[in-house]
Amino acid sequence: MRELVLSCPGDWVDALSDALIEAGALSISVEDADLDTDDERPIFGEPGGEDAPGGWQHNRVVGLLADGDDPQQILVHVEAELNIQITSDWFLRDVPDQDWVRLTQSQFGPIQIGDRVLILPSWHAGEAPINRPEGSIVIELDPGLAFGTGSHPTTHVCLSWLAQNMSSGVRVLDYGCGSGILAIAAKMFGAAHVDAVDIDEQAVLSTVHNAHANHTDVHALLPDQLIAGQYDVVVANILSNPLKVLAPMLSNRVKVGGYLVLSGVLARQAQEVAAAYAPWLTMVVWAEREGWVCLAGQRAD
């Protein structure tokens, strides 16, 4: 793996970080460009707090790239998104080999979402409390190479929507299923049938594995394998740009009276995404968490 490192002032950190994620970076970190120099300055305040600064005076925003990713294409996307031109203030550096499995496991523990959802990584299997609220579910999860551990705010808000709004006996489509966490939750909350779709074969395999581990019947497949039909609930936790492109297809997968639930959308993108779905459904912000929103709407006709 490699890291794409870009220099920027403090007031550009958030926008540049968001643009890199949308362009395909796997993760983002921010470094003090003046670290260990005479110009190094401390900053104080918790992230998101009123007293928190935008960053250091000179920052390095670091995006982790998957093997095979073209950094030039990433930069073209960032330039288009931010309407800027990136010249020489960037470089690539190799990421040293590590035991990424062990590192990931150490950072991912049991996650409680509200009163009704507990997510247990497979390496914490068997640790669910004996006395749990009636109607709550426990999902044993091995994310593998797919997105969706329950720790990300977008997954969290989608799980919260399912916990509060799912009815038994319904048909559910999870489009962009990743690890299968939302599809499995829907099934556990009483869905009669769940289709879980992803463009990534690894995600489909991960969903099959996790559904089996949780003794749930989830139909995982690639997009071209999905047959015609409509659903009572369609949930898609992806990113804003693909959500806008998929608006006609996802909207028409929702039956009259059914619900569409979207996440992977930053708060500043909510209005734009809602506008893409306006010809079919009125989408409103159902919840916001750490700058990410969950949009939900009911199809009237």
2-94 domain in CATH 3.30.70?
yes
Structure tokens at 26: 């796997």
Q: Which of 150, 148, 143, 115 is nearest to 129 (CA)?
A: 115
CATH 3.30.70 region(s) of the chain?
Answer: 2-94
3-state SS, 192-255, equals: CEEEEECCCHHHHHHHHHHHHHCCCCCEEECHHHCCCCCEEEEEEECCHHHHHHCHHHHHHCEE
Q: Are 224 and 212 in contact (CB under 8 A)?
A: no
* pLDDT reported for residue 13: 86
List all residues 6 or more positions away from 41 whose beta carbon is below 8 Å from its beta carbon.
34, 56, 57
The whole-model pTM stands at 0.66
Residue 222 neighbours by CB under 8 Å, 6+ apart: 197, 198, 199, 201, 204
pLDDT of residue 12: 84
CATH class of 145-298: alpha beta
Q: Which residues pair with 72 in a beta bridge?
A: none
Report the pLDDT value the prediction gives residue 51, as an integer from 0 to 100. Answer: 45
Predicted pLDDT at 284: 97
Question: In 83-200, which residue ranges form alpha helices assigned H by DSSP?
Answer: 100-107, 153-165, 181-188
First to last CA, the chain: 48
Residues of the chain with CATH 3.40.50.150: 145-298
Amino acid at 142: D
Predicted local distance difference test score (pLDDT) of residue 59: 86
Q: Tell which residue, 72, 89, 87, 92, has the closest CA to residue 6.
A: 89
Low-confidence stretches of the chain (pLDDT < 70) are: 40-55, 88, 97-108, 123-133, 143-149
> Looking at residue 107, what is its pLDDT?
61
